[in-house]
Amino acid sequence: MEKEEFSDRVQAKRKDLFAAAYSVVRNTEDAKDAVSEAVASVWANLHKLKDDSKFDAWLLKAVYNEAKDIYKRNRTASSIEELSEAFSYDADMENVEFFDIISRCGFDKKTHLILTMRFVYGCTLEEIAADADIPLSTVKTKYYRALKKLSRTEGLK
């Protein structure tokens, strides 16, 4: 993959990648850091990618892992005010709080990844299994358990 195409594909997903990172770190600057670092890392290792169709998933996983690392290093509680910095001026407050709700559920990394791929990327469960290298049964189990948990979560109506 040439720089041109690599750049195109990254830019096309930049908002999703940022949202994915933000869902972990809940901090605009850290989320940007996570995306930048992950993209650089993926570029450096791009020659190892043999299945081009897995590029998006690989990129997303890299962003996730980077975001997790950053979160571990800088673990701080975010206030709603801080959270809102990533949102546009006239954002719906419910949307601002959304990441906070997801975070409170305490999902493991895989579940978090599955939810993001499902909703941010719009992937089917089969695609998630294939792209994220997680057995389909695991994807399904985690996904539906997460839905169950979320269905009981206050604030999601």
Partner 1 sequence: MKKNGDYNNIEKILQKRYEGVKKDIKDPGFVNINYAGAQRKERFFEKPAVYAAGLVLVAVLVCGGTFIGLKYLEKLGASRIDPLTSDTVGISGELTDPDVTDTEQVTDDDCGTDKLRAPVYMTVKSGGETIYPNAYFLWSEKYSDGDGAWIDADGAGAETVKAVPDIAFDGVSLEIGYENASEVHYSIKQNEKPVYSGDGDLSGFFSEAEQGVYRVIASFTVTGREIDGKFESSAWECPFDVAVWTTEVTVMETEPDSDNVSETETETDTETETTAETTDITLPGTYKEGKPPVYLKVFDANEIIYPDAWLWGTEVAKNVPVLHYDGSDIDIAYVQPSGRCYVGYRRYGSDEEEHISVDYINDYLKHAHTGTYRFVIRFSFTYGDTVEGFDYPFDVEVLIKEETTEPEETTGPDLHDPETPDLTVKVTCGAKTIIPDAYAAYGGGVDEDNAYMSNKVPYITYVNDGMKADYDERNIANVSYWIAFSDKKSWTLEEVNDYLKDAVEGEYRIVIRIKRETHDEYGNFINSTYDYPFDVIVTTPAEPIEPDMTNGKHPVYLTVKCGNQTVYPDAYFLWTTEYRDEEGGWLEGDGAGAVWAENVPVIEFDGGAAIKIGYKEAGNGTSLSFRINKGEEYWNVSRDEINSFFKHAELGTYRITVTCSVKGRLIDGQYESTGWEYPFDVKIQSAETETYPTQEFIDLIEVRANGEKINGLIPEWETFTGYELEIVGREDILIYYKTGMTVSAINKASVVEIESTVRVQGGYNDTVSHNSLDSLNNAITKALQDGADSIYITVDMKNSNAYAHYSFEIMFGQKGKAPVYLSVAGDGRIYPDAYPDHVDVYENGKTVKTTGNGVSDAKNIPTVNYGEGLSVNYNALTDKYLPQRLIKYELYDINTGAVLTEGPTINRLNAYLESAKSGIYRAVVSFYLNDFNMNDGTTVTGYYVYPFNVYVEYKETSDAKRPVYLTVSNGNGTIYPDGYFCWCEMYDDRSGSWVDGCNGLAPSYVAVIKYDGGDLVFRYDDAGNGTEIDGIGCYDENENPCYPSVGTFDDLNRFFKTADNGVYRVYVSFIIKGRLIDGKYERECWEYPFDVVVK
Among 25, 27, 44, 112, binds partner 1 (CB under 8 A): 44
Q: Minimum Å distance from CB 24 to partner 1?
A: 13
Applying CB under 8 A, what is the total number of residues that bind partner 1? 85
Among 25, 112, 131, 142, binds partner 1 (CB under 8 A): 131
Q: Minimum Å distance from CB 75 to partner 1?
A: 15
Q: Minimum Å distance from CB 60 to partner 1?
A: 10
Phi-psi sector, 87: left (phi>0), alpha (psi -120 to 50), beta = beta
Nearest to 83 by CA among 107, 99, 103: 99
x-or-dash pattern for partner 1, window 14-43, by CB under 8 A? xxxxxx--x-----x--xxx-xxx-xxx-x
Site for partner 1 in 94-113 (CB under 8 A): 94-96, 98-99, 109
Among 24, 25, 86, 114, binds partner 1 (CB under 8 A): 86
From residue 6, give the alpha-carbon distance in Å to each of 50, 55, 134: 14, 9, 25
Q: What is d(CA 76, CA 131) in angstroms, rounded to the nearest whole number?
A: 31
Nearest to 83 by CA among 103, 68, 65, 63: 103
Site for partner 1 in 51-80 (CB under 8 A): 51-54, 56-58, 61-62, 65, 68-69
Q: What is d(CA 26, CA 68) in angstroms, rounded to the nearest whole number?
A: 11
